[in-house]
Chains A and B, each alone.
Chain A
Amino acid sequence: MNTERLDATFAALADPTRRAIVARLARGEASVLELAEPFAMSQPAISKHIKVLERAGLIARSRDAQRRPCRLVVAPLREATDWLERYREMWEARFQKLDNLLEELKEKENRHVRKTR
């Protein structure tokens, strides 16, 4: 696990605007102008967010075209979500056992209620 890269990924994704940009790019590449559209933000402000995402290696920009569209680089994103997903799986495994225990406690209570009625 490359922790430095993970740090950069998490830091870049800590901002809601940048998460929205990533979500938009997940649907396909877009120019800075197109990315700025849904936000009440100036183009330089959006460009700043894009630079953060670019430095974190989450997006890449093609050099050739005039509009220089941005596209998503999937690998670091996947690494970051895998990381959190494993932690989630560990707790979910616990909670599934807890579900079973709760079913048992509910049944026990129901039996008790029936008996005392």
Chain B
Amino acid sequence: MSEKRGSGKLEITLPSDTEILMTRVFAAPRRLVFEAMTKAEYVRRWWCCMEGFTMTVCEIDLRVGGRYRYVTVGPHGEMAFNGVYHEIVPPERIVHSEFFEPHPDGLMVTMTLEERDGKTYYRSLLRAVSKEQRDGVIASGMESGADLALDHLEDVARSLDPAHRAAGASPVAIARG
């Protein structure tokens, strides 16, 4: 294989006013993808995606009517998600609700995994109760993304500090470091 992982980038589209659709390819059989997405010991390894955040709770009761709860702690406090499994067909399909605490409205998530040539085609459709809620979900990414952007800005600001420049450091090099 020319590319080591052979996995495609995540694509996100908005098929209607109340939906978000995510698709991505993983370079692994779907049996493994399903395990990595449903076993707490594995979810702990990837759910928490940003520097300075830690996952404090990761509970998964994988059966119809069972609950899950994920809690991460970051610089601005705690973020908690929970939901109930409505449908489980290992290793190809899960339907579950998703609540961002303490908001009363939840999303309904339908996740499907399809396997072709040893790769897994992931598809997740998030249905919101209203357009406002859907946009709010996307805005949550804006907030965490803004955190990342601010971190980067701090690096750049530091690199422009005269003390650094006196030391002969190139601003670009520091910003990248």
Contact = CB atoms under 8 A, between A and B. Distances in A.
Interface string B1-44: 00001010111101011000010101110001101110000100
A20 to B, nearest CB: 15
By DSSP majority rule, is chain B's interface helix, strand, loop, or mixed? helix
Contact of A94 (B26, B46, B148): B46
Contact of B45 (A7, A14, A97): A97
A106 B32 contact: yes
A10 to B, nearest CB: 7
Interface footprint category on A: 20 to 34
By DSSP majority rule, is chain A's interface helix, strand, loop, or mixed? helix
A86 B140 CA distance: 9
A32 B36 CA distance: 52
B69 to A, nearest CB: 17
Q: Which of B5, B45, B138 has the most CB of A within 10 A?
A: B138
B43 to A, nearest CB: 9
B142 interface: yes
Contact of B142 (A83, A99, A101): A83
Interface in A79-117: 83-95, 97-103, 105-106, 109
Given A87-B138, A99-B26, A94 B49 contact: yes
Given A91-B10, A99-B26, A105 B32 contact: yes
Interface string A63-88: 00000000000000000000111111
Given A102-B32, A105-B28, A106-B32, A93 B49 contact: yes
Nearest to B144: A90
Contacts of B9: 92
Interface residues of B, number: 37
A97 B49 contact: yes
A45 interface: no
A56 to B, nearest CB: 14
A84 B19 CA distance: 13
B46 A14 contact: no
15 contacts: A1-B142, A10-B131, A83-B139, A86-B142, A87-B138, A88-B12, A89-B141, A91-B22, A91-B141, A95-B10, A95-B46, A101-B36, A102-B32, A102-B36, A105-B36
Interface of B: 5, 7, 9-12, 14, 16-17, 22, 24, 26-28, 32-33, 35-37, 42, 45-47, 49-50, 131, 135, 137-142, 144-146, 148
Interface of A: 1, 3, 6-7, 10-11, 14, 83-95, 97-103, 105-106, 109
Q: Which 7 A-B pairs give the minimum distances between C-beta atoms? A: A87-B141, A86-B145, A97-B46, A93-B49, A102-B28, A98-B46, A94-B49
